Structure formats: C-alpha cells, structure tokens
C-alpha cells in the first residue's frame, strides 16, 4: 500500500513544531567516521542501507509509515533529472506530478522496497556535489520515533521515549558508525 497525502500536519504522530525545537525530544546521529576522504553516495548507501532496514524491522508495529520533508513541505522533485529512478517511477505510475507537496504513506514492505532511494533522497535529488535538497523524516503512526535522512550523509534518530531510543541505538551500534548524541540527550 502506498498513498500520497497532502495534509501532512494532520497525519503526523507528533507535533512538528515541538519536534523541530527538540522540546522533550532526544536524538542521536549515526555518522560515518570523518577522515580526509570524501564519502561517496555509494559508500553512504552501502553503509546505511542495512541500518535503515534494521530500524524499520525493529520499530514496525503493523501500522503505516509516513515519509515527509522535515520541517516544510516542498515539491518532491524540483527537477527532471535522471536520479532516484525507483521513487520517480512510483510517482509516474500513480500519475502524481513531481510537484506533489505532501507525505508518502507506505506499508513496511513498500518502504523497504524503496530503501535505497529514500536514504539517498536529500543528497541525490539534484545529483550535484554542492546542492542538497530537504531532509526527509520517516515515522510510524503509533511510535514516538523519527528517522531523519539527512543530506549531510548521516541518519539521525529522534524520540520522545529516551529508553526506546537508547535500546535502538545500543542494538544498532556498529564499528562503521560514530554515534553522536544531540546536546540534551545523554543516553
């Protein structure tokens, strides 16, 4: 099941303003170690794909998943570039214009099917080194948890449930990631 919803505020399981100000929210960032070499898109996907899949499997509760731009709803595809072909094909197949503004609603299986395009979305929309598009947030209807896909080639996890966040972080800690806590998190 995949749906396209224009009224994002009405379907989000959290208050977007509170979340953006990080009031009562805890967060961590999964990052690749920073060294002198630049991380390529392929390295990003190879490192983060299994993390993303694990997160979805761990958090899934049978309810739908919401994928939306993080703080302001924008056109999903502001160009006609030959990028993110699976996601662009999804829009074409459903007769949804690139200028669609809103959220995508996925079942777990459909969300996992689009993993590679979703985790590379902010970095790959323009396919240009210096131009990033908006981050996207992925949340479940019933869990106070957000998976933030960043154009800066990292994935952040945010939750109002500190113990849940701690459990998820501990389960997914791996040598290939540096985990940085948000200022007030202290897990």
The string of DSSP codes covering 119-183 is HHHHHHSS--TT-----EEEEETTSSEEEEEETTTEEEEEES-HHHHHHHHHHH--TT-EEEE-T
Task: Read off the pTM.
Answer: 0.93
Residue 187 lies in a domain: no
Residue with tokens 């731009």: 69
Residue with tokens 């309810």: 63
Residue 45 lies in a domain: yes
40-44, 61-65, 121-125, 139-143: which is most confident: 61-65
CB 177 within 8 A of CB 30: yes
Residue 97 lies in a domain: yes
Q: Is the pLDDT of residue 23 over 90?
A: no
**Dist CA 175 CA 31 (whole Å):** 11
CB 119 within 8 A of CB 87: no
pLDDT digits (tens, 9 = 90+) for 121-177: 998 888 776 678 889 999 998 888 999 999 888 999 999 999 999 999 999 998 889
Residue 123 lies in a domain: yes
pLDDT value of position 52:
97
> How many structural domains is the chain composed of?
1
Residue 186 lies in a domain: no
Q: Is the pLDDT of residue 101 over 80?
A: yes
pLDDT value of position 39:
75
Residue 19 lies in a domain: yes
Burial 163-173 (b: 16+ CB within 10 A, else e): ebbeebbeebe
Q: Which domain holds residue 82?
A: 2-181
């Amino acid at each position: 099941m995949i749906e396209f919803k224009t009224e994002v505020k009405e379907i989000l399981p959290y208050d977007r303003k509170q979340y953006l100000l990080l009031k009562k929210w805890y967060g961590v960032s999964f990052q690749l170690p920073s060294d002198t070499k630049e991380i390529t898109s392929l390295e990003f996907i190879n490192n983060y794909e299994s993390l993303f899949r694990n997160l979805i499997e761990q958090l899934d509760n049978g309810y739908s998943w919401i994928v939306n731009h993080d703080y302001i709803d924008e056109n999903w595809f502001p160009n006609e570039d030959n990028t993110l072909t699976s996601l662009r094909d999804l829009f074409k197949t459903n007769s949804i214009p690139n200028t669609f503004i809103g959220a995508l609603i996925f079942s777990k299986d459909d969300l996992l099917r689009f993993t590679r395009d979703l985790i590379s979305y902010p970095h790959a929309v323009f396919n240009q080194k210096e131009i990033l598009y908006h981050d996207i947030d992925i949340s479940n209807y019933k869990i106070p948890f957000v998976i933030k896909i960043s154009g800066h080639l990292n994935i952040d996890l945010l939750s109002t449930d500190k113990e849940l966040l701690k459990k998820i972080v501990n389960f997914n800690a791996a040598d290939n990631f540096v985990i940085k806590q948000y200022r007030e998190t202290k897990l």
